[in-house]
Chain A
Amino acid sequence: MTISFDQIPHLDIDPFSAEMIAEPYDMHEQIREAGPVAYIPKYDLLVAGRHAEVQAVLSDWETFISSAGVGLANFRHEKPFRPKSLLLEADPPDHTAVRTVISRILSPKTVQQLKELFLAEAELMMKRLLELGTIDGMKDFAEHFPLKIFPDAVGLESDGRENLLLYGDMVFNALGPRNELFEKSMERYLPVSSWVMEHCERSALRPDGLGELIYRAADAGEITHQQAPMLVRSFLSAGVDTTIYGMANTLLTLAQHPQEYAKLHANPALARQAFEESLRYDSALQMIFRTSSRDTELAGHSIPGDRKILAFLGAANRDPRKWTDANSFNIERNPVGHMVFGTGIHGCVGQVIARMEGEIALRTLAKYVKHIELAGPYERHPNNSLRGMRTLPLKLTPA
């Protein structure tokens, strides 16, 4: 049933059209300037695009719940397209025990132990890329590096890892409507679906990886043995495409801002901050959804229960109410508080490892490469909720 929200500004936009996915920034502004909350009739959907409201929605898990799905579909009325994620699509108390286990497995303590391995891999990659000189920043760098180190850390074998990209692409398209993008990505994923699910099983994972730690938590009775493969699935779906696109967007942004890259090259210690600022500036995950659990209020607007609301992370990250010169890329700003990892109890559980991947990649790049520039036109990879990349021709000049 469509309810008219008379007091809430209506926006005649389609965030999932090819044009908006390709270039969302004018739409972000339109959403933010319409008001703290707006209504998109086409999808019967509320949207928040300002930083304060995005943060408020994501922080209040009791009013804006996740168990009815974190995409456009309302699982109270529609069947989920896959068994629900135990982390992403769950509320406390169910969410709590699972989150506690996964938080521990991906805590700074565990992640620190992977640092040397990640560094060694980044060095190897950089040496090879410098020999090439001109590279596809997408395949050779942004995809290569996370697809090597993260599944290694989880304990996955080397063969067939590109199947994870098809899974991730489908999962993130599924946050949007059942449009052609979703259907096509589902078609591409189906032939490899059994591969992905089989590789969530204990027998497919190395005994010294993070995946095995999930199974040990099941052995210890903290979670059930039925939950364990589902949680490995969460690692494999949430931890690959997101990081890859975060890195690809960072490379593009640095190539487009040579002065900022020069600062990074001069001071590689800025790598962590530069990665953060890139995530803010061109957010790999553009949106996440919640569902109102009851009649409530947001920024003075009354919102009935059981409504989907889109939290536009990418728009919040460019909100001039929050950020000085929001549309400029400045690796020396303090980007803390950007929303690309979400916030609150559902804040990305893999953010520690993602940040370390990004920091190490950029630090190594900054050490060996003097200039990074576009070597031709780049091509984006369209996805309903991710800001992706398909090809990114780059020329690297050695230091």
Chain B
Amino acid sequence: MPIISITQNDGHEVSLDVPVGQSIMRAAVDSAISGIIGECGGAAMCGTCHVFVNSAEFAQLPEMHQNENELLDCTATPRRPNSRLSCQLRMTEKMTGLKLTLPERQQH
């Protein structure tokens, strides 16, 4: 199973196994990683699974849909150029080793 790394906002780094085909949000919630809420369950409705992607890897991710892009405009921690919603990131072998950092807040 591919492993990614997540840096929580206290600087703590955790590694997470994400089955291929599953969203990173789902894997994080199932492993009770604090700092990713995923309140809407992956419908790209709530913006509470916001992550910052290591800039070098950002361009290699699948492109975002308009919904995700618009939702990133209303996240609790303002978006940056490397923001994504982790519910929209489905794991592939290629994404092994992906480095994510969590925002300060997920809810308003």
Contacts and interface: CB of A to CB of B under 8 A. Distances in A.
Contacts of B103: none
B31 to A, nearest CB: 12
Interface residues of B, number: 21
Contact of A103 (B29, B37, B42, B67): B67
Contacts of B64: none
B74 A351 contact: no
Interface in B1-48: 29, 32, 37-47
A341 B43 contact: yes
Contacts of A339: 41
Given A108-B108, A112-B74, A336-B29, A103 B41 contact: no
A344 B43 contact: yes
A109 B69 CA distance: 13
B45 A349 contact: yes
A107 B43 contact: no
B40 to A, nearest CB: 6
Please classify the interface of chain B as helix (H, G, I), strand (E, B), loop, or mixed, using the class held by over half of its residues.
Answer: loop
B104 interface: no
Nearest to B37: A336
Nearest to B38: A336
Contact of A345 (B32, B43, B66, B73): B43
A347 B66 contact: no
Contacts of A348: 43, 45
Interface in A288-325: none
A108 B68 CA distance: 12
A62 to B, nearest CB: 13
Contacts of A344: 42-43
A80 interface: no
Interface string A253-291: 000000000000000000000001000000000000000
B71 A107 contact: yes
A354 to B, nearest CB: 10
Nearest to B43: A347
B34 to A, nearest CB: 10
Interface in B44-88: 44-47, 65-67, 70-71, 73-74
A352 B29 contact: no
Contacts of B41: 336-339, 341-343, 347
A104 interface: yes
A276 B37 CA distance: 13
Contacts of A188: none
Please name the 10 residue pairs, one residue from A and one from B, whose CB atoms are nearest each other, closest first: A347-B43, A109-B74, A343-B41, A108-B74, A103-B67, A100-B66, A104-B70, A351-B45, A108-B47, A100-B67
